[in-house]
Structures are given as C-alpha cells and as structure tokens.
C-alpha cells in the first residue's frame, strides 16, 4: 500500500463511481476582490458524510479482502474520518469502532453512533492512537489514514474534479492533518498540470507536518490545537516525503484565525466550513499577496461537520 500514483487515483475514481458526489465549485467574486486574486472553492463540505473523508474511506473499504471484512475495523479520528468510516461501514455491513479524543466534537460522536459504530473516548489524541494500537493487537483491523496510500488515492480524486472544473488553477490550498489528502492532491493535480503550486495549512498545535519539514523528517509532536480534525502526533515517512518534495510551503495559522475563518467564509461565500477548512481563509490572505498577478487559487473546503454550537463554544473566552 505504499504506491500513490496517477493510475491509483484514476482507479480509485472508477472504483468509487457514483457512491461519491462530484461536489460543486464556486468562484465568489467578493472573496476574490478581498484577496486581490481569482479564487475558486471546492465544496467538499457538501460531500456525503459532510467531508472529503468519504472518498478515501470508500476506496479503502472496497478493496478489503473477505477475511478483513469479517474483522472489526478500528480507527482513530478527530471527527470526520470516524463519521466516514462509520457510515461507509454501515453501507457495507462492516463492524466498526472509532476511538475519539475528548477534543472531538460531540456532534461527530453522535453521528458515528447513529451509523451503528461504537465510540471509545480517550483523554487526548496520543492516548487515542495508543488505544487503537492495542485493539489492533487483539485482532481488530486498524484503518489508519495517516499512512495509507489507498485512502490517499481516494482523496486525490477531488483534485481531478477540481481541475476539470477549473483548468486555469495555478495554485491549490489544502488543510493538512496526517498528510493523506494533500499527498493525494499533489499527485493528482501534478498529473494534470506539472507546474501547479500546492500549499498546505496547519494550525499551531496541530503542526506535525511543519515540524517534520523543519527537522528533516517525521517527529513526535504534542497536539494542543482545539481543531481535532487536524491534530496527529506524528506524520508518516511516506506522506512527509510527498509533502517535502512537492508542497511550496505549509502556512501556519492560529486556532482563533481558523475559527474566525468559519464566520468569514459564511459571510463572504455563503458556505458553512468547519474550523479545519476555516483555517484556509487566513492562509489564503497570507499567500495571495506573494503570488503572480495572474494566479488563480483553488481552495479545498474539506468539510462542514462542526455544529454552530461547537464553533461558538470554542470562540467563547474561558474563565481565568
């Protein structure tokens, strides 16, 4: 499972077929005027399951052997991956358990359980990964989107769609969690336009890829960001290699900027973006001034699963 290529992404597109929505793109004139560049948004918040994660999960589960389908599937999630795995697992009649850190939105847990999957809570992201590893050692099948190119290939299908809708894109801005989506996007986008620039976005405290690039390889990090869908303790060597060789830069933003981005996307474009996608708004403002005047920037709105209450609670000042 260590081969991520144009062919594997095109195969994923054929395999997932009409089980995936070809999500729309929009080009909000108000947003383009604000940043001084042409901007197009790929709305994966409208994907089945509310995020891009369904693409990779479906591609992975459709390739399971009969023996693996008989095992219980276990995964760590900050919310979206768990929702996708629970919902696709239910469609394929598979047994699923999702391990969530306490920072994950309660609304995500309710959706996971509504799909029929079991939820196990842990105190932090690091403890969630440890718990999943123990379950895997006891016979469960670990589904890990942080180190799985079959999942990355499924995620890459969104870039094929984006460039078909907007072949004029010169740049693509992508939120980074474990590095799966951005790796798939890099391979898919470069297969259509070898000169396209790919930019990543992380929040401080969920910056495992930034730290890996700064230190020359994957390193253990502490996840402190409130945006659980971006937080992993360590990126894989595989996805580090993809990002380090292709990505222009990882732009870092604060949690506060990312949460503000949720509101700004709603006001500027009329869309609901979860905080992991909201992080691209301040990142867009940071990269637009350094790009050529004829740039056209594609922004991936990776999901919209956070509830209004989740976002409002995260923006409420905590008592001293």
User: Quick one: what percent of the chain has pLDDT higher than 90?
Assistant: 87
Q: Per-residue pLDDT for 243 more than 50? A: yes
Torsion over CA: 227, 233, 239, 242 (sign): positive
Between these two residues, 21 and 314, which has the higher pLDDT value? 21
pLDDT tens digits, 261-293: 999 999 999 999 999 999 999 999 999 999 999
Residue-averaged pLDDT of the chain: 94
Q: 285-289 contacts: CB < 8 A, separation 24 or more? A: 285/34, 285/35, 286/251, 286/253, 287/171, 287/173, 287/199, 287/249, 287/251, 288/35, 288/36, 288/37, 289/36
Helix ranges (H only) for the chain are 6-16, 29-35, 53-61, 66-69, 80-91, 106-114, 125-137, 149-165, 180-192, 208-215, 237-246, 255-269, 275-278, 280-287, 308-315
Would you state the CATH architecture of domain 54-142?
3-Layer(aba) Sandwich (3.40)
Q: How confident is the model at residue 319 (pLDDT cuts 50, 70, 90)?
A: very low
The pLDDT score that the predictor gives to residue 317 is 47
The pLDDT score that the predictor gives to residue 139 is 93
The pLDDT score that the predictor gives to residue 314 is 65
Q: Per-residue pLDDT for 38 more than 60? A: yes
The pLDDT score that the predictor gives to residue 318 is 43
> What gap in Å lies between CA 260 and CA 237, rounded to an integer?
32
Close Cβ partners of 235 (under 8 Å, ≥ 6 residues apart): 146, 178, 179, 208, 209, 212, 218, 243
Q: Per-residue pLDDT for 1 more than 70? A: no
**For the chain, where do the domains classified as CATH 3.40.50.1100 start and end?**
6-52+151-315, 54-142
Q: Per-residue pLDDT for 141 more than 90? A: yes
Would the pTM of this model clear 0.85, i.e. be above it?
yes
The pLDDT score that the predictor gives to residue 2 is 60
SS3 41: strand
The pLDDT score that the predictor gives to residue 315 is 61
What length does the chain have? 320
Most confident region among 35-49, 98-112, 122-136, 229-243 by mean pLDDT: 35-49
The pLDDT score that the predictor gives to residue 206 is 95
Q: Per-residue pLDDT for 312 more than 80? A: no
CATH fold label, 6-52+151-315: Rossmann fold (3.40.50)
Query: If you average pLDDT over residues 40-68, what whole number do you get?
Result: 97
């Amino acid at each position: 499972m260590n081969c991520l290529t144009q062919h594997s992404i095109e195969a994923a597109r054929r395999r997932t077929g009409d089980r995936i929505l070809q999500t729309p793109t929009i080009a909000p004139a108000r947003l383009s005027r604000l940043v001084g560049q042409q901007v197009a948004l790929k709305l994966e918040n409208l994907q089945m399951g509310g995020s891009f994660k369904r693409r990779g999960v479906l591609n992975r589960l459709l390739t399971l052997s009969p023996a693996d389908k008989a095992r219980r599937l276990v995964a760590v999630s900050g919310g979206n991956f768990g929702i996708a795995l629970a919902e696709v697992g239910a469609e394929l009649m598979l047994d699923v358990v999702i391990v969530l850190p306490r920072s994950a939105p309660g609304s995500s847990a309710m959706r996971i359980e509504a799909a029929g999957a079991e939820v196990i809570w842990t105190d932090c992201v690091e403890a969630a990964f440890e718990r999943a590893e123990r379950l895997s050692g006891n016979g469960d099948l670990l589904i890990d989107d942080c180190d799985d190119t079959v999942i990355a290939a499924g995620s890459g299908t969104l870039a094929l769609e984006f460039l078909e809708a907007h072949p004029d894109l010169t740049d693509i801005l992508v939120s980074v969690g474990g590095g799966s989506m951005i790796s798939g996007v890099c391979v898919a986008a470069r297969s259509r336009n070898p000169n396209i620039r790919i930019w990543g976005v992380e929040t401080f405290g969920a910056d495992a890829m930034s730290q890996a690039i700064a230190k020359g390889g994957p390193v253990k990090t502490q996840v402190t960001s409130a945006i659980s869908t971006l937080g992993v303790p360590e990126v894989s060597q595989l996805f580090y290699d993809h990002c380090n060789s292709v990505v222009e830069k990882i732009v870092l933003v604060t949690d506060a900027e990312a949460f503000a981005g949720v509101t700004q996307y709603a006001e500027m474009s009329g869309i609901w973006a979860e905080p992991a996608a909201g992080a691209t708004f301040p990142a867009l403002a940071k990269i637009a001034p350094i790009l050529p005047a004829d740039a056209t920037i594609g922004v991936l709105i990776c999901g919209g699963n956070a509830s209004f209450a989740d976002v409002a609670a995260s923006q409420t000042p905590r008592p001293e």
